Amino acid sequence: MERTRSFAVTESSVETKGASLQTQAFGDPSSPPIILIMGMMASMLWWPDRFCEALAARRRYVIRYDQRDTGLSTHYPQGEPRYSFSDLADDVIAILDGYGLETAHVVGMSMGGAVAQEVALRHPRRVRTLTLISTSPLAVEGLPSSTKTYQEHSRSAEATDWSNLESIADFLRSETAMLAGTRHPHDADAANTLIARDMARAPSFASATNHFTLVSEEGLARLQASDIKLPVLAIHGTADPLFPIEHGEAFTQVVRDARLHRVDGGGHEIHERDIDEIAQAIVNHTA
């Protein structure tokens, strides 16, 4: 049954340096704004619709968007991104400008969490608070690696034929299963539906692999989470196979004003059954 909404949902494109970014907004523009930054190779659809609706229903104005090389935003030739990690951070500011927002609460997940940290470090006056989901603090060494099982799976990305839709779908199905936590059963049907939506919407998936080249940039390596002076909420699953829980805990050790919300048994995901818990934690943080 289709969900009914008591708030508006609008779509628009925002022009930024060398790119057009597709955005979608939920809720009342007069409510406190939240911008959502998704992770590597993932379009805005990977922020679950119901998650955005849950935030909007709690009186937040929610903006999600397709990062470069995902969804309906600008795509580049595979292996030739023509943009830097810093450009991804500047894209967030361009979206705020496009919406006429001086500041916003910034929420980033996985690689989007690294982008969010750069936004906070380079544009602190534009950020009200920072929420970092399933990510790792910049320039903190000695944290545990991904699980061996996930490391073995990640090598399959090299064998994936990114020009073949079925090969891509197989990889993404395996990826979502590998990133699942232990608290709830992996919902393969929901994952398959999301993957099909994303693939039908994007003109290319091969270009999304350009994100692989960005995370080792020298400029990013010079930034340090310990320099963040904003209120930070780290939300982290205790069963995250990509960034073990110690990554989330590290924020409270290196950022002065940081708190940790543990999702017991949560993986590297926003599971349908955890949406209300996570949304409420963000609302409390952004109050």
65 closest CA partner among 110, 114, 5, 25: 25
Lowest-pLDDT range of 65-69, 144-148, 217-221, 261-265: 217-221
- The answer to pTM > 0.85 is yes
pLDDT > 70: percent of the chain: 96
Token pair for residue 159? Answer: 């064998």
106 closest CA partner among 62, 55, 56: 62
Tens of pLDDT along 195-250?
999 999 998 888 999 998 887 665 566 799 999 999 999 999 999 999 999 999 99
Tens of pLDDT along 160-210?
898 899 999 999 999 999 999 999 999 999 999 999 999 999 988 889 999
Pick the CATH number of 9-285 from 3.30.450.40, 3.40.50.1820, 3.20.10.10, 3.30.70.380: 3.40.50.1820
Tens of pLDDT along 43-71?
999 999 999 999 999 999 999 999 999 99
Residue 155: exposed, middle, or buried by beta-carbon count in 10 A (0-12, 13-18, 19+)?
exposed
199-217 core/surface letters (b: 16 or more CB in 10 A; e: else): eeebeebbbbbbbeebeee
Spell out the residues 6+ positions from residue 27 whose beta carbon is closer than 8 angstroms to its own: 7, 8, 55, 56, 59, 60, 61, 62
pLDDT > 90: percent of the chain: 86
Mean pLDDT of the chain: 94
155 closest CA partner among 141, 166, 171, 167: 171
CA distance 58 to 56: 5
The strand pair at 232-237 and 127-133 is best described as parallel
Domain ranges of the chain: 9-285
Phi, psi angle pair for 166, to nearest 5°: -70, -40
